[in-house]
Amino acid sequence: VSTVCNSLNNIYNAKDWSDDPIKAIATSLNIQIPTTLELDTLRQKRDELQKEKELLEKEQKQQQKN
């Protein structure tokens, strides 16, 4: 409970509170907020893996036919 109270106190007293409340909360609670760039990279990676998976499934079906 004291940790939460301290965190809330830190949030309330944070200098960047007015600039970016979400960032202030995340910083005081040590939460990592992924940046847009990181999310884009992850989406791209996911799409690449999805395509790779589909290709492998096609190849597998081809081999099963032969």
| Main-chain phi, psi angles of 14, to 5 degrees | -60, 135
Please write the tens of the pLDDT for every residue from 13-47.
Answer: 655 556 677 777 777 777 676 777 888 888 999 99
Q: Confirm whether pTM is higher than 0.85.
A: no
Q: How far apart are CA 21 and CA 53, in angstroms?
A: 40
Q: Which of 38, 33, 32, 30 is nearest to 11 (CA)?
A: 30
Return the domain boundaries, the chain.
Answer: 1-33, 34-66
